[in-house]
Amino acid sequence: MLGTAGTDIGISSAGSAHTFDIPTASATKRGALSSADWSTFNSKMSNALTSANIWVGNSGNAATAVSMSGDATMSNAGVVTVDKTTTAQANKILALDGSSVAVTKGNQLNGATSGSLTLMPAAVTTNYSLTFPGAQGASGQVLSNNGAGVLSWASAMTNSLTSANIWVGNSGNAATAVSMSGDATMSNAGVVTLANSGVTAGTYAKVSVDAKGRVIASASLSAADINTALTYTPVNKAGDTMAGALAMGTNNITNTGNITMAANKYFTLSANTTNGTTAGQMWYDTGTIKYYDGSVVKSLGVAGTGITTLNGLSTATQSFVLGTAGTDIGISSAGSAHTFDIPTASATKRGALSSADWSTFNSKMSNSLTSANIWVGNSGNAATAVSMSGDATMSNAGVVTLATSGVTAGSYAKVSVDAKGRVIAGLSMTSSDITTALGFTPAGAATAFVQNGNIFGATAVLGTNDANSVEFETNNSTKMTILSSGNVGIGTTTPGSKLEVAGNITGYNSGVAVDALIEAKHFSANAGNSGAIQFLRARGTSAAPTQPQSGDQLGAIRAQNAVNPNSWPGIYFNTTENHSASAQGSAISFHTTANGTVGGTERMRIDHNGNVGIGTTAPPRLHRLWGPPLIS
């Protein structure tokens, strides 16, 4: 019959039943794997891994499949190949040759401070090998050869020992010389003497002992002591009545008269697998009552035929044996034994789950997760199963559904949103919304300016009716500005005059004004004011201008060939000193271009001091002619 008792797989036999106990495997039991544990273990990390890859913990502390690289590689058979040499090349790992021997001419061991030890083989003609221990020895141990070249660690002790001392292993697992003391002492002849316990030497029937079993007091034995010690009143040999069972242990009852059983009682034989040797002996042996008739052992049976063979074995006495051989659970029978082989389960064996593997598997994460739950790291940095809630939910198919915001699905020109950007209401656009957004009431179709022009039938007015400016934009930036004062700026948003242009003005054919004429008109009763063409010159930038320097050109009135502008006749205004707020000296020069030439030549100059020079650039007097006089 099957059972689950115990902490390991076992077989027990009692009466006519053989019980095969196979407990459920756990951290403390070796046994059968339960279906629940099977499901748990089956959901853990798979062993699928790309050929020749290995599991390595990455920077995120997760096992990642990578291939070994660098100074070593590894095949899919687990063979690691390193950059090695069998010819003792420098800076490489020494490899064994085809005979599994590392050949060197010697090895040098450098000391911790200075000096070195060189190991060189003697001049030998035969080969021999020395096998060193698998681990280093303890302090003070030496290597010992067993005569076959196998070395082992042995303690290097001397026979020097203080009189009456003994060698005792101390807390550091090293033999230490001490003298025996405490409850006993020992002489240098090895005689151990126990310490006195306080009792007088003698023979006693009742004694008191200490926790170490030493007699420390004595007294006379009383009848009460006997009854207390026996826990019952002894039977009187002259005759008595038993109040309970009498256990003889392994002792015999001999020279007895007839044994008469009371009604409804049984006569029980001992269980014994050893055959009797005295005629008339009877015993119970594994389901069979046997007796010895003085020459042979005979079995007492019942009518009919019992089991003659079991799994091919026909011996009278057979046994069950547990084993762990093989790669799968199996039963083999040989001789008089039936062997149940249940190997420990592994990657290559089907069998019983070891308690160590059970603990390893049980500590891994399960794939059990409530429908539509997700794993989320909690405040304790542990994955916790929760259901997505709040502004969104998720089904067990991974479909995320946003929570309804309260708005009816549809298209709206105007909406209300909450702090999370969700539309919570859809509204219709009103005329006040448009007026508020524009900052004015838009014109109707009959008066609005439209693409490709208008036909108003009257003067069209574009502008503002308040004290704000009008700006014209292209390419998303202001190109022309009309201030509320009427000043017009091109390239500037702060014109200081009626027209201010930041940049060059180029006139083609008609020029800037009619007939290529620039007119500067001025209407004023002030005799000191008039129309003017003004040139403003500064160094630096328009945002941070600086004073002109001596020799800078303040402005020019020039006339040039429009087809080939290679000449520059004109009137030029130049500085004659470094300008400041209180010093701004300047001169005017007149240039012409001679026939048959290009460029320009200064013909006349009015210097900063009023001197006029013709043919000279530095007139010394108010009027200076340079060259032969034209008037005689």
Whole-model pTM above 0.85?
A: no
The answer to whether the beta carbons of residues 368 and 42 sit under 8 Å apart is: no
Who contacts 202 (Cβ-Cβ below 8 Å, separation ≥6)? 218
Q: Are 154 and 142 in contact (CB under 8 A)?
A: yes
Closest CA to 51 of 25, 78, 69: 78
Q: Indicate the DSSP class of residue 182.
A: S
**Would you say 105 and 116 are in contact if contact means Cβ atoms under 8 Å apart?**
no
Whole-angstrom Cα distance, residue 578 to residue 491? 29
Residues of the chain with pLDDT below 50 are: 303, 508-516, 631-632
* Cα distance between residue 325 and residue 447, in whole Å: 105
Q: Is 155:175 a contact under the CB 8 Å cutoff?
A: yes
Helices (H), strands (E): how many in the chain? 4, 43
**Which helix (H) or strand (E) element contains residue 109?**
strand 107-110
Q: Residue 118's pLDDT is what?
A: 72
Which are the contacts of 539, defined by CB distance < 8 A and separation ≥ 6?
545, 546, 547, 548, 549, 552
The closest alpha carbon to 26, from 356, 366, 355, 361, belongs to 355
Q: What is the DSSP string of 473-515?
A: EETTEEEEEE-TTS-EEES-SS-SSSEEESS-----TT-SSGG
Of 19, 22, 38, 39, the closest CA to residue 30 belongs to 22
Contact indicator for 624, 603 with CB cutoff of 8 Å: no
For residues 318 and 331, is the Cβ–Cβ distance under 8 A?
Answer: no
> What phi and psi values does residue 394 have, to the nearest 5 degrees?
-140, 135
Tokens 């994460």 sit on residue:
365
Q: Is 469 helix (H, G, I), strand (E, B) or coil?
A: coil
Q: What is the distance between the alpha carbons of residues 309 and 315, in angstroms, rounded to a whole number?
A: 8
